[in-house]
Structure 1
């Protein structure tokens, strides 16, 4: 069985998204990005990025005195692992129960409903 990824907190996930979007980034670049919409200390960003590296989700290289971080695992792999954990914990291992909950309780836009219907059709062997 494939080892699951260590649970990721909100701030960690926020930083992962930024690094995934940028491809690679320094603490300073991530800090500046976050400052665009909320206040956060540089040292907080640095600590979180080090924790993500410790968890094996980010890797880094030294460029002079600067550490340049990049994703250590593909975005899809991380998302799948975290989603699998959530399905196990919250929905007792039932992906169908998770989808049912999403469909019944979320306010889905028409294009989102259409996309879900297309995915179901694809599962049935159509399109």
Structure 2
């Protein structure tokens, strides 16, 4: 799981993990159907086997098929991805990340979104 927390997954591995988080449990065929520009069936099976070796996924057998699921909680995965994003693009600074989100040249946030963000910040600073 250390590789996951350090952001050391390939693009395809991240895509597969996203599918596992969204669907919960799925077969390799279902993963393949969800992937953009899917590789071959054997490549999908190899990706799933790699994720199992890294401790990020596991499988059980249902009839003659393997059913895969993530072993890492989605919340932990999101936190890890956010840390990697901040480290890569925002010098590890949450302030720079939020500033980029609020930049009107890049982002057109609705009043509801801005209100929601303010509410979240207020909740965090009040406690």
The TM-score, its normalising length taken from structure 1, stands at 0.77
User: C-alpha separation between the residues in 1 aligned to 2:102 and 2:49?
Assistant: 37
Q: Secondary structure at the match of 1:124?
A: helix
The 1:5/1:66 distance shift into structure 2, 3 A limit, reads farther
User: C-alpha separation between the residues in 2 aligned to 1:5 and 1:58?
Assistant: 17
- For 1:73, the equivalent position in structure 2 comes to 72
Deviations 1:39-88 (A, max 9, x none): 54222322222222222221112335422111110001011012112222
Q: What is the alpha-carbon root mean square deviation over aligned residues?
A: 2.5
Q: Is the 8 A contact 1:7 1:82 kept in 2?
A: no
* Count, aligned residues: 123
Q: Which 5+ residue runs of structure 1 have no aligned equivalent?
A: none
- For 1:11, the equivalent position in structure 2 comes to 12
The 1:43/1:112 distance shift into structure 2, 3 A limit, reads farther
User: C-alpha separation between the residues in 2 aligned to 1:80 and 1:91?
Assistant: 15
Q: Is the 8 A contact 2:90 2:96 kept in 1?
A: yes
- For 2:58, the equivalent position in structure 1 comes to 59
Q: Which 5+ residue runs of structure 2 have no aligned equivalent?
A: none
- For 1:89, the equivalent position in structure 2 comes to 88
Give the superposition deviation at 1:103: 1.3
Q: Is the 8 A contact 1:6 1:55 kept in 2?
A: no
Deviations 1:70-113 (A, max 9, x none): 11100010110121122223222211111111211323233322
Give the superposition deviation at 1:5: 4.2
User: C-alpha separation between the residues in 1 aligned to 2:107 and 2:50?
Assistant: 33
- For 2:120, the equivalent position in structure 1 comes to 119
1:27 and 2:28 matched: yes
